[in-house]
Structure 1
Amino acid sequence: MKKIIIPLFIVLFAACKEKHDKQESPPDGFNDSVAIKDTVVKTEVEEPEPELLSLDDVADTAFVRLRDYSRDFVYDMKYATEDNFLKTKVYDCAECYVRAKTARALIAANTELMVKGYRIKFFDCYRPHDVQKKMWKIVPNPQYVANPAKGSIHNKGGAVDITLVDKEGKELDMGTGFDFFGKEAHHDYTKHPKKILENRKLLKETMEKHGFWGIRTEWWHYNLTSASNSKVTNFRWDCE
């Protein structure tokens, strides 16, 4: 009798162990670390944007970075890329600096435009005098680049090159691209379709209302009238 019981016990034990191993053993190719990793939900915490600064106590002649005072503008700083008529990058990094009094006027103009569903987009802002010299060396033609011997209002922190975008960020059709040097870019060219002329008029009238004036040959260029007597400077900003 004992000889029969012992083999049965062994068989039952082996069967139970095999069943247990099948339940506990992971399938082929199973990776514990992957399984654990996959159960972890990754959450990325965005750093809050720094608080905007106030222009209230900033001297009119001080240089300010516009995005520190407003988040409502759009930027495409062409001369920090090779996408410009020079075909050369002349800024170390893309930043828009202007004099504080220019910044105040730009914010006021943009606030008015936003009520109508538009925003200002920048192509160029303050331009250090050394950059003006670099541009002149590439294209020494006063028709396209201001002679650094005299300087440009860009070098004074009082000029900007701009256009308008809609709520989706799409540029309004102004008839030509930025830095197009032809009669079609002139303010007094009236052969464009009505909508283009209306777009230019909106930009021009709004900027003039807030103290800017344009130049006849460039629909995108605006100077702050009160900045015309400022000094040409070579203020340089640090790249982050």
Structure 2
Amino acid sequence: AIMDCQGALDLLAGRTGGSVHLGAVSTAKYFVPHAIAAFSKRYPKIEIKLTIGNREEIREAMHGYDLDFAVMGRPPADVTVDVRQLGRNPHIIVARKGHWLEKDSGLNLTDLVHETFLTREPGSGTRTLMEGMFQRSDLEPIIGMEMSSNETIKQAVIAGLGIAFISAHTVAHELTEGRLIVLDVAGLPIVRQWYVIRRSDKVLLPPAQAMFDFLGSEGSNYLPDVPELGGR
């Protein structure tokens, strides 16, 4: 047992390697790499593998034991998990600079029923959240194009193809640059949480445990600042 303990300490001290396999929903890819970089500085010998997918894909991956843990919004309902809160994830509606509703304040969802929404594919957490928001108001959004990446949605909104309901963390950069604007809509932002999630029955080796703890305690430091929403 003493050897085991020493081996574990060596792993933690970064004297020996080890590997960690984490998953992240695609919306989280705007901050997860920054957190990984900070962790790697501390533990340079630990090899890290990152798998990105939509909510549905990461939920599926959690069913196997490949992933040590995942960064996502709502924890999956069908697996028993341990959860660490990582920080707030505000969702907003963005439009291109110069959009005709740019100067309007106090808009309602009803004011947006004639707008075209560019949206993620079904199975994405952002898409599910948007659908729930409209359903609660008994409204039906006009869906323009479905896209599997937030990057493409941003470019399409900037090009004037429509507006989008999106995590503020994915557009922090474009808001700062003034290429996108936040529409002032009642009830928004909808604030969800980011979580680090692992299967309760998955035993984490020291490197994975160290990273799980790191994300749980320091992960929020790597969330992008959103100018319109007053920081993190």
Smaller-chain TM-score bracket: under 0.3
TM-score (norm 2): 0.23
Query: RCO greater where, 1 or 2, for CA within 8 Å and sep 6 or more?
Result: 2
